[in-house]
Structure 1
Amino acid sequence: MRENVSALFVLLAAILWGTTGTAQTFLPDGVHPIVVAAMRIMIGGLFLLVIVLVQRKLDWTNWPVKNTLAAAVAMAFFQPFFFSAVKITGVAVGTVVTIGSAPVLAGLLEWLFFRKKPSLRWWGATALSVVGCLLLFAGKEAVVIEPAGVALALGGGFTFAAYTLVTKQLLAEKPPEAVVAVVFSLSALFLLPFLWIYDLSWITQMSGVMVSLHVGILATGLAYLLFSRGLTGVPASTAVTLSLAEPLTAALLGVFYVGEVLPPSAWAGVGLLFLGIVLLTLSPGARMSKAPHG
């Protein structure tokens, strides 16, 4: 039962992440995505920090500094990696490579470093979800394969997988609220220079304020808190695969809220994504087995 609840927390987090793209359509023209990413991390980190300070859940005793720095660096690098990849090689390729590589990399890293071998069911569910993601974005734009963009996208997938694995280790020692608050506050400091590089005049407009609060508090602060709570009950690789509910949510919001039209291939991708997620959600704890030591 706890495993199913944990999987549900991860899915809720991914659904909140999936609202970010739709929310950004309300921003003024010309706002750079990296600035939005930096702003969401800063607002989310501040929101979480205030919560843990008010609740007095921030205990610095024996705080795992190295893992905290590693998680903060991974989250900070994920933002420019992903958005730079999208800018160089396009939304379709950048998103598919980043989101599609993350579960596979998480499974391999978990296998290499923690001797937890992904099961056949996990590989099957992940394959369905990745193919579904590919079909979802296929045909949206002319596909341009830029090696630099693909490399950055793989960097994005790797940093998200690394963030998830390190955060799971942190959660074994500290409560989710404290972990996410500290990690995101540090990530915000690392991303601070971006706010001096790009124009920030849009933040003074009402649409800018509302979108920033949404993506910062709900789609970042609350979402990553739910994700961390979910990580306490499911393997990191399973959590990363379940996070593929993000593009599924974004696609459905685009259809039912923005008015986009999906081709049949994209609807097939929606079905495969949904099927892969259901396979993991039904029995999330059975994804991993100990690999033999040798």
Structure 2
Amino acid sequence: MRNTDLPRIAAAAFAPVVWGSTYVVTTELLPVGHPLFAGLLRALPAGLIAVALTRTLPRGAWWARAAALGVLNIGMFFPFLFVAAERLPGGVAATLAAAQPLVVASLAVGVLKESPSAWRFAWGVVGLVGVGLVVLGPAAGFDLVGVLAGLAGAATMALGVTLTKKWGRPAGVGPTAFAGWQLTAGGVFLLPVTFLFEGPPPAIGPQALIGYLWLGGVGGLLAYVLWFRAVTTLPVTSVSMLGLLSPMSAALLGVVVLGQTLDPVQLTGFALALAAIVAGQRPAPVLVEGALR
């Protein structure tokens, strides 16, 4: 990690911190039983706004690439995320999502042709254990559909992030336009799926309106602009480790908003997860990495 990377890492970290609010917003503000509609409103309006502001459209092969990335990172990921958030306690959903760095580290070997890194895998496991200690309690429930949705969400976004790194960003295209393409493509994918499986949209009261605006504006457009800029300019395995900040943020919001408390085991988990995040931003020590390979 170079000192010049610190501002980009800090900006990228904003995205998962904001995404951590998804669990609270979903359970406290949004209508129950409409995960696809929540994903649709998080993606399509934000994407169209970004495209309108930048006035930049894909060219050539980037029409297909933007569509594929949009479906993986947005169109498929959002429904899985909201289904997991609705059917599982936030802690269980967050722990499943924390498996993403391990999936990215595996895909980096096969898709990006990177050398296997025991350092990344080891810290990925530490991060997963840390998150589990923070958010899993004795009363955690394991709904099968919710668990499968959580695992599928981690896998689809991991593949999307890896392909984003592989293809990069077209020359002359800024991160806002790039994020706009993907949000729009994901929203277009979700549009018929939402009405097919959920029917008419739910009534949107003042609370739900605030929730959708937060998820679409801050958690959608702003967060994804920063996230995709980081993915295309920083090591993908390092960026994926920042995703552990999402369940950490969710746990802290539980303390601040819902009046929950953290016991010594959870505080230990916090320390482990933070250590994994910091270590994930640094290159593996040459001697250690060489010995572990």
> Could you tell me the TM-score, scaled by structure 2's length?
0.84
Classify 1:175/1:169 alpha carbon distance in 2 versus 1 (closer, same or farther; 3 Å).
Answer: farther
Give the drift of 1:232. 2.6
Deviation (angstroms), 1:60: 3.7
Select between 190-199 and 154-163 the one with higher mean Cα deviation. 190-199
Distance 2:27 2:90 in 1: 15
Secondary structure of 1:117's aligned partner: coil
Deviation at 1:149, TM superposition (A): 4.4
What one-letter code is carried by the residue in structure 2 that aligns with 1:176?
P
Change (3 A) 1:144 1:206: closer
Q: 1:209 to 1:81 in 2, by over 3 A?
A: closer
Task: Name 2:188's counterpart in structure 1.
Answer: 189
Check whether the contact 2:248–2:270 (CA below 8 A) recurs between aligned residues.
yes
Structure 2 matches for 1:6-17, cutoff 5 A?
Answer: 6-17=8-19
SS in structure 2 opposite 1:139? coil
Aligned to 1:160: 157
Q: State which drifts further: 241-250 or 41-50.
A: 41-50
Map of 1:257-272 to 2, 5 A cutoff? Answer: 257-272=257-272
| Residue of structure 1 equivalent to 2:54 | 52
- Alpha-carbon distance in 2 for matches of 1:288, 1:160: 28
Work out the CA distance in 1 between the residues paired with 2:30 and 2:211. Answer: 10
With normalisation by structure 1, the TM-score equals 0.84
Alignment match, 2:133: 135
- Please give the residue correspondences for 1:143-182 in structure 2 after superposition, counting only pairs within 5 Å: 143-144=141-142, 146=144, 149-173=146-170, 174-182=173-181
Report the Cα offset of residue 167 of structure 1: 1.9
- Structure 2 residue runs of 5 or longer lacking an equivalent are none
Give the 3 Å change call, closer, same or farther, for CA 211–87 of structure 1 in structure 2: closer
Distance change (3 Å), C-alpha of 1:104 and 1:28: closer
The Cα shift of 1:9 comes to 2.2
The two structures, once aligned, show a CA RMSD in angstroms of 2.7
Check 1:166–1:49 CA distance in 2 against 1; reply closer, same or farther (3 A cut).
same
User: Once the two structures are superposed, what CA deviation does each residue of 1:180-229 show, in whole Å capped at 9, x if it has no partner?
Assistant: 111110110111135432563432x2222222111101011100100011
CA distance in 2, matches of 1:90, 1:129: 19
The percent of aligned pairs where both chains have the same amino acid is: 24
5 Å-filtered alignment, 1:1-294, equals 1-27=3-29, 30=32, 32-53=34-55, 58-74=56-72, 75-86=74-85, 91-97=90-96, 99-139=97-137, 141-144=139-142, 146=144, 149-173=146-170, 174-196=173-195, 197-198=198-199, 200-203=201-204, 205-281=205-281, 283=282, 286=283
How many residues end up aligned between the 2 structures? 280
Within 1, Cα distance between the matches of 2:150 and 2:212? 24
Contact 1:117/1:288 (CA < 8 Å) preserved in 2?
no
For 1:288 and 1:211, the matched residues in 2 are separated by: 44
